[in-house]
Structure 1
Amino acid sequence: MSAAFAEREVERRGLTNVEILTGGTHPAGHVHKGVVETMSELDIDLSEKTPQEISTEALESCNVVATMGCSTLELDADDVDVRDWALEDPDGKDPERVRAIRSEIETNVRELFDELFDEE
């Protein structure tokens, strides 16, 4: 969800200097059905997405890393801004709870982009 919202912010703001990396250190085998259904309510199609593993090396090359709350991420790069959003895992949650998590993610992403790019 966060990558989809970040990609939308990049497009909305016309940013050309942003690369979105998405993945997990221990990714699930598929995007959870409830997440796919809930995101489709916003015309965001995640049905063909597959969770990817992301390496520590790739994370250490980033300016900002946002974790969803289930990570024990430790990076050696001092110049990476790591944000742990401490979100509940939406897997197996009822649709209302998934919508609430989706809303929290959308807000976090928008606020992060406001912080990083409204100063330009």
Structure 2
Amino acid sequence: MTSNERPSVLFVCVHNAGRSQMAAAYAHHLSRGRVEVRSAGSAPANSVNPAVRDAMLEEGIDISAEQPKLLTADAVEASDVVITMGCGDSCPYFPGKRYLDWTLDDPAGQGIEAVRPIRDEIKRRVSELLDELR
């Protein structure tokens, strides 16, 4: 990565409907465009989890237009940092990439009360990551 290129981060979970969507939204919002952000899932859902969408709206971040996307080798290859959240062995590995695995509860099937602490932990971790990338 050269000094004039933005660092790029890929957030991956199984369905790309909850954790990775929240992480990507925070990374985009908190970096104010200084970081290129992607998210994807190894088995994408049809839509973003409604409780996740509502929890992010509480933070003033609207992800209602987001659609879960399929994880591709190209997305991994184009990213400097790949953060997995429970996708296990389905994430492709490329030498030279920085990989982090964040163990977080899955918000699937949970109400907003259960999603809030997951959201808050993701925000904390994304903030730390952005500090490291500066």
Is 1:82–2:103 an aligned residue pair?
Answer: no
Q: C-alpha distance in 2, partners of 1:112/1:61?
A: 18
1:42 equivalent among 49, 52, 59: 59
Q: Deviations over 1:14-55 (max 9, x none)?
A: 62xx31111112111100011011111111111121111120
Query: Do 1:70 and 1:86's aligned partners in 2 also have CA atoms closer than 8 Å?
Result: no
Unmatched tracts of structure 2, length 5 or more: 1-21
- 1:4 alignment partner AA: A
The within-5 A match list for 1:21-36 is 21-36=38-53
Post-superposition shift, 1:62? Answer: 1.3
Say yes or no: does 1:2 pair with 2:23. yes
TM-score, structure 2 as length reference: 0.77
- One-letter code aligned to 2:62: D
Aligned residue in 2 for 1:113: 130
Alignment size in residue pairs: 112
More strand by share: 2
Structure 2: distance between partners of 1:86 and 1:69 = 7
Distance 1:70 1:88, change over 3 A: farther
Alignment identity in percent?
40
Q: Is structure 2 residue 68 aligned with structure 1 residue 56?
A: no
TM-score (norm 1): 0.85
Q: Which residue, out of 100, 106, 113, partners 1:96? A: 113
SS for the counterpart of 2:67 is coil
The one-letter code sitting in structure 2 at the alignment partner of 1:58 is: A
